[in-house]
A = this chain, B = another copy of it.
Amino acid sequence: MSKITYLSDMLTSVFARQTTSDEQLSKGSFDELCDAVLSHRGESSGGRLASRLLSKYKHANDSERLEFFEMLADRFDINAEHTIRAAQHYAQSRTAETLTILSESVESRRQELLRRLNRVPGATTDLVNMRADLLVACKANEELRRIDVDFQNLFRSWFNQGFLVMREIDWTTPANILEKIIAYEAVHAISSWRALRKRLEPSDRRCFAFFHPVMPDEPLIFVEVALTIDPPETVASILTSDRMHIAEQDATTAVFYSISNCQKGLAGVSFGNFLIKQVANELSLSIPSLTTFRTLSPVPGLSLWVQQQLSVLPEQATSQIVDSEESVDDVPIQWLKLADRVMSATEFEFSEEENSQLQQLVAWYLTRACGSEQQSIDPVARFHLGNGASLDNILPSADLFAKGLAQSAGVMVSYLYDLDKVADNHEEYAEQRTIIASDRVLSLLEPDKRKRSKLA
């Protein structure tokens, strides 16, 4: 074989190039491998170089990975000057060409690197795991978050809801997937295979998950559902072995009592909204008797918030005896102290009055305590309200397991998914932060129930 240089004037420019062999590259640094993957050679190597880079990453230790990330953040960034000029150019002449140039100017070579890595079979899982590492590393090094902008751009496209596949998880599901359900369950821990089975069987206990076609063994998110006649008032009534089984056709209520994201590397790429609605749709089609879709949800932010409220109390207020009139920011100190006491206990006998006070405390917390962007500071509330659910019920003494007591003084919340209203609700919440709540929740906030209230 000989070579013809395509253009004769190019002939002179041929210089003696020293081709770095693949073998040398695998021994090479991350820098060299990244350059190689991004080169013309990398383009055409059919994934060999990309595969090598991924393999090197997998075998790297934490500090090597950190160096890799630092290199990614440092090199391969976009050139802002270039973008400014491209944008100016586009402002003057809005053509496809100038738009393409502008668009490309904002896409870092890092992003192209990740795209090329993704061509390797199985690489999507590797890249999701790589981002999980990156998110950890970002905590110590703010600079690295720029890399995450690229990951987010790509993952938002790759994990577009249209590409996700919903599958029911049951006892005929492969064991390698079931063990991940056990491992990833984030709300009510699953203690054993036997306990798992009770979440999947018989037909009034269901589980659904989203998968991506190229990650068939990795659930992305899953939701556990109990089919019931009456809305459950405690999580124990759902998880107990003693319960009566309901025939599918008798069920009127589907209770989403646990929803767990599985992939840390997909943090911020939201699927839960879609999953809940798709499950609700499928269930309502296959079980016509179902009329209500609601959650039985934890209140994970309560504990921290109570501590914060208590920490700003004037000294005298920390005394044992609390004047029932005293309050912090409208919240009676008595309630906060009660919650604090419950959260420190390993078990607790609630009086009716205590339950009532905790209910009111949580009602206040969910509807008044606000964080950034004027949203509820409770992450679970943010999620469901943001999905268009309404705040339907606040259930005291609903989770008496250790975690439930410590986290939310045993209180749970039921959010209601009224499929006809979620779009409206979502719109109001998104645009005006309006929380839709049931009358019974509202009544917890009414002035006559509390001493001083600004709501009136």
Contact = CB atoms under 8 A, between A and B. Distances in A.
Interface of A: 1-8, 10, 13-14, 19, 39-41, 43-46, 48, 77-78, 80-81, 83-84, 87-88, 90-91, 94-96, 99-100, 102-103, 106, 115, 118-121, 123-124, 142, 145-146, 148-149, 152-154, 156-158, 160-163, 171-176, 178, 193, 197, 213-214, 217, 273-274, 277-278, 281, 367, 370, 374-376, 387-388, 390, 421-439, 442, 445, 454-455
Nearest to A124: B162
A314 to B, nearest CB: 25
B390 A6 contact: no
A432 B13 contact: yes
Contacts of A94: 77, 80, 146
A2 B158 CA distance: 39
A13 B4 CA distance: 72
Which of A41, A81, A123, A430 neighbours the largest number of chain B CB atoms within 10 Å of its CB?
A41
A145 B94 CA distance: 10
A119 B1 contact: no
Given A44-B387, A87-B84, A430-B43, A6 B370 contact: yes
A213 B164 CA distance: 10
Given A1-B421, A115-B156, A121-B162, 4 more contacts: A6-B435, A13-B432, A40-B431, A154-B157
A227 B156 CA distance: 42
A91 B84 contact: yes
A442 B4 contact: yes
A278 B278 CA distance: 33
A14 B273 CA distance: 26
A240 to B, nearest CB: 22
A219 to B, nearest CB: 14
A376 B172 contact: no
Contacts of A48: 423
Contacts of A162: 118-121, 123-124, 214
22 contacts: A2-B439, A5-B435, A6-B367, A6-B376, A6-B429, A46-B274, A46-B281, A46-B423, A78-B99, A81-B87, A83-B102, A115-B156, A118-B161, A119-B160, A119-B161, A158-B160, A158-B163, A172-B176, A175-B175, A175-B178, A175-B193, A213-B213
